[in-house]
Structure 1
């Protein structure tokens, strides 16, 4: 029987230190709910002594009724030269009223003597006294041994002494931090094993950074060496190169190695939760992210697709459904007829390779590809093409007229754009206008504004990515362009394509496909 592993998420604290990341209080509350819903044990949420926003968050999070997670406040040991009771930051941790606190302290002698300018014995006193203070206040204390692995390699006896001071103070867990992210898996394994043997009655954890690209591997090796607590951020973002990615670590440990990290019935919620966190954080999650990325189970080569159709494990290490993801077959020149047929059968299972409709679809795809369309990564537009060929398509709206204008105000130096659009739904017309940062942005806003009159559900839809590629560069400014846009409703992402020698028209084609795909995939669209 494999042991249970406590998952300690630091998305709201260490993740918030990543470049471009800024959480509002509402954002943090939403992420707490997502993490709790998949069974995370601890959620480290910030330092109430560092800023008013974190203090406001801790006041709000008290109102939640969580099913799995403990909220953790984060802070440092007391400063040198003062008592615990005199340290304002230490006292601020109590105001958070969390059941657990994470206290970080120095484990590297260099940091003690050269960074915080304390003596080695004084630092040990700071660790023990601070932890004892919180234990006496009824708190569960996790000790984050900052720079532990660098410290151990520099002065192993002192690094271990810092852990002993934490144990003497009553810490329930010793989280060994690879703060600089420079340690290799074999080093992690050896050192964690030694620590577990030295402190057999205390939980031992890992807090790894990804500066060498090894944070996940280091975390897994640490568990295999005896650790029972893993810290990280849910989709890996954080300071510098990021933190250990928990959305990768959890299935690696649980599905591959048999450890218990989250309730097994919640594993299928891993991908939706990861993508929700990405949306809340306003980052474009890598499609190649293991387990939860959009390309994690995407197949392009014809031989691969044929193999997966015959036996999924021939080119997939797990079933995508285990983690709430899905298999995708990419449309391209190397995909083969079988991949096209497989995608068509998702729309109409009655179509076979011998059906006349199959040939009609292939002929239409060849015609469109000749015009510059490429459906790899634009499967939503591909589905619309298939629906049109099969007679399953119904036009939810028509664009009767549009105009896009760009204006440069010489005095202010600002360039603005405006757009006017006329749409009709069921014979009823709507005309509207909007301004944007560019003609495409203005067109997108005007189109959605007009259609929201008929389809209020579109208020939740917005663009997350926009790409343009020039197809025939020898024609210079009259060349055809391919526009690919990615859209989301906050739950599901989809990608569409448009091609034209006019970038505005190409964008409009992709925008129209995006909105149509959303509307045609909703049962009982609200009108």
Structure 2
């Protein structure tokens, strides 16, 4: 059994240009738990207020399998472990497991920390021994272990032995600079296993493009914990990519880690993290990239239509991905049927409804739509195409004005909107008026539009008051077009019970925001209808 330890929320968040909101972190936590990873490193609570808030909020999630882990360094020199604020922040998280990193490279101890080698060993021992009193599991990340071993093997191993004596549950060998080659990894792990008896793990960075292979070699040699990130996010060139490691372990090496049936969730998790990172999803990622099972050359297409094994090393459906035959209109039907089944709708892959939905999705994707991270918009689209959707309101027009009166004053915005509700809704609710024409102000145009739409709809649908927008992201699709570029807007919403994502695309950022906002409220109203039907 190999335990998967995800550090997307901590090490992955250190990627240049990535900043997860608190809501992002909680949403990724739930997705990772559903995937079946064993440990989710939530962050370093001693480093910033957001991570402190995360550990407060994550307790409210009902995780099925994963254990949330807090991260920190060993205690500081000159402070008692009981007085070190970082260590005490760890204790206050009240999570089942913690990871502390300590220096295993003599150069880092003497030059980085400015302490003696013996003092460094004391920091490691005292920290691990203290934390074992409070946590079920304590993992020791031996930072820069491989470089440390090359420099001073005796001392590097001594740091592991000290952590082992203090009670560490796993000794994680870190290739922090990411420069170790595969054969060095083999030799060093062989040597380490002769010196320690505790379980070992691996934490590899990808500076020499070796992170995945070094992680797999470590497992082959006996490592029982693999640390990495979704999509290989991380400092510099990134960390070991769990989206490659997990399927390699399960499908290629036959090693138990996450449940095999959960592999089909991997593509979704990969896309979700890309969306919440506000980054384009890398198309060339193995297993989970858009191009991983895409076929364009005539010879390839002809062969794959006869037998996919001729040009595919695994079945894309195992990963939740799909085969893309660039010249075939049949591509993607299975995914639509599968998604409809999740919603309780049985479809025949050959039915005209599926063809109609597929054509609509292709049309929207050509405009820049992607529905990973915007599942609510996809569900609304699917129901509408099947004639199962409901028209809750119709836009009769909106206007958004932004004004700034002077250099010293903040700009503000005003939105005016007019909506109409269907006649049957007005009749059901005993309303004489079907139109609402109103306005609202905001600090920005999207906030003003949101407030105006709420104001208009609450008259007809009081439950709209429960909806709160928790995140708003904009991505420019055709960056080279300059100010003519089309933005894609992703909005996350919650009613306190459920969370959902919606998307809008338009050359006009306000219209793109409107499309995502409108879907957010429509989805809430569809949830209300489902609840009422369930009570009947």
What is the TM-score when the length of structure 1 is the normalising length?
0.71
What per-residue deviation string (whole Å, max 9, x for no partner) do you get for residues 305-350 of structure 1? Answer: 7765554445554344433x343759xxx64555599999999855
Aligned length: 498
Equivalent residues of 1:43, 1:70 under 8 A apart = yes
Task: Show the counterpart of 2:220.
Answer: 224
Equivalent residues of 1:34, 1:277 under 8 A apart = no
* CA drift at 1:107: 1.0
Distance 1:382 1:60 in 2: 28
* CA drift at 1:41: 2.5
Equivalent residues of 2:36, 2:262 under 8 A apart = yes
Q: Does 1:375 align with 2:370?
A: no
Task: Show the counterpart of 2:139.
Answer: 142
Task: Show the counterpart of 1:295.
Answer: 290
* CA drift at 1:206: 1.0
RMSD (Å), alpha carbons: 5.3
Task: Show the counterpart of 2:322.
Answer: 327
Distance 2:492 2:329 in 1: 32
2:314 to 318, 322, 328: 318
* CA drift at 1:184: 3.4
Q: Does 1:243 align with 2:239?
A: yes
1:110 to 90, 97, 107: 107
Q: 1:53 to 1:386 in 2, by over 3 A?
A: closer
Distance 1:336 1:160 in 2: 57
Task: Show the counterpart of 1:76.
Answer: 73
Task: Show the counterpart of 2:435.
Answer: 429
What per-residue deviation string (whole Å, max 9, x for no partner) do you get for residues 432-476 of structure 1? Answer: 3355677677667756765676676895788644546599x9xx9
Distance 1:12 1:390 in 2: 38
2:19 to 21, 35, 45: 21
1:286 to 273, 276, 281: 281
User: SS of the counterpart of 1:258?
Assistant: coil
* CA drift at 1:59: 6.3
1:180 to 174, 177, 181: 177
Aligned pairs for 1:417-496 within 5 A: 417-427=413-423, 428-435=434-441, 446=452, 450=456, 459=467, 464-467=473-476, 483=486, 485=488, 487=490
Distance 1:520 1:335 in 2: 39
Distance 2:380 2:246 in 1: 36
Aligned pairs for 1:46-195 within 5 A: 46-47=43-44, 67-80=64-77, 84=81, 89-90=86-87, 93-135=90-132, 140-195=137-192
Task: Show the counterpart of 2:344.
Answer: none
Q: 1:408 to 1:178 in 2, by over 3 A?
A: same
Q: 1:520 to 1:57 in 2, by over 3 A?
A: closer
Distance 2:66 2:81 in 1: 28
Aligned pairs for 1:27-38 within 5 A: 32-38=29-35
Q: 1:497 to 1:239 in 2, by over 3 A?
A: closer
User: SS of the counterpart of 1:295?
Assistant: coil
Q: 1:128 to 1:482 in 2, by over 3 A?
A: closer
* CA drift at 1:147: 1.0
Structure 1 residue runs without a partner (length 5+): none
Equivalent residues of 2:8, 2:229 under 8 A apart = yes
Distance 2:138 2:378 in 1: 54
